[in-house]
């Protein structure tokens, strides 16, 4: 399942907001982080706000903040806001899909989409937040170990001199 740019932006944004639900984050900050125009991101955030996933905070220090329930909101809930996931009708099928090979390939691709949908439906934002925390801890541990190894190598090199 290939996600559209708006869908990916929505997922990035929702996760950024959910990392610190009390913090208000300016759209420009997220746009800069992900290399998109603030105007384009504002359209995505507006849709998320209409759905009640984020809320807009006006005034000095304003921006957006998370308004959903991280334990209940799934990745698929966000994806459905931006993707058309219905089956294509028979008129839009390619001629090759009517052949035995085309039907077999369509069956496999359909099964892959079903698996992707089930997976996205089973992953809550809370699960993603735990994954992010674990990755940050692992990166910090790796950096600490790397620093120790570099210092040990420097001590060994100094003893040789």
Name the token pair of 29: 């900050």
Instruction: Report the greatest alpha carbon distance in the chain.
Output: 78
Q: How confident is the model over 38-60, as pLDDT tens digits?
A: 999 999 999 999 999 999 998 88
| Structure confidence at residue 85 as a pLDDT band (50, 70, 90) | confident
Q: What is the pTM of this model?
A: 0.81
- Indicate the average pLDDT of the chain: 91
User: How far apart are the C-alpha atoms of 112 and 28, rounded to whole Å?
Assistant: 36
In the chain, where the domains are located: 5-85+124-160
pLDDT at 101 over 90: yes
Bridge partners (DSSP) listed for residue 63: 57
Name the token pair of 23: 């913090």
pLDDT at site 38: 93
Helix (H) or strand (E) holding 95: none
User: How far apart are the C-alpha atoms of 158 and 72, rounded to whole Å?
Assistant: 56
pLDDT at site 86: 66
Q: How confident is the model over 4-39, as pLDDT tens digits?
A: 999 999 999 999 999 999 999 999 999 999 999 999
From the list 115, 92, 93, 89, the residue with the least C-alpha distance to 103 is: 93
CATH for 5-85+124-160, options being 2.30.30.60, 1.10.10.10, 3.40.630.30, 3.20.20.100? 1.10.10.10
pLDDT at site 150: 85
pLDDT at 89 over 70: no
Contact indicator for 75, 61 with CB cutoff of 8 Å? no
Interval 84-113 mean pLDDT:
80
Contact indicator for 48, 10 with CB cutoff of 8 Å? yes
Contact indicator for 17, 25 with CB cutoff of 8 Å? yes
Interval 59-64 mean pLDDT:
85
């Amino acid at each position: 399942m290939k996600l559209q740019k708006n869908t990916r932006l929505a997922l990035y944004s929702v996760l950024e907001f959910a990392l610190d639900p009390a913090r208000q984050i300016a759209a420009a900050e997220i746009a800069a982080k992900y290399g998109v125009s603030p105007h384009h991101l504002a359209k995505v955030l507006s849709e998320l706000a209409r759905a009640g996933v984020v809320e807009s905070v006006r005034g000095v220090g304003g921006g957006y903040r998370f308004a959903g329930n991280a334990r209940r909101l799934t990745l698929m809930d966000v994806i459905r806001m931006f993707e058309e996931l219905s089956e294509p009708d028979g008129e839009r099928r390619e001629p090759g899909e009517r052949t035995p090979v085309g039907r077999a390939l369509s069956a496999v691709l359909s099964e892959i989409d079903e698996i992707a949908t089930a997976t996205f439906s089973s992953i809550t934002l809370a699960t993603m937040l735990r994954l992010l925390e674990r990755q940050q801890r692992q990166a910090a541990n790796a950096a600490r170990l790397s620093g120790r190894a570099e210092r040990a190598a420097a001590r060994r090199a100094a003893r040789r001199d």
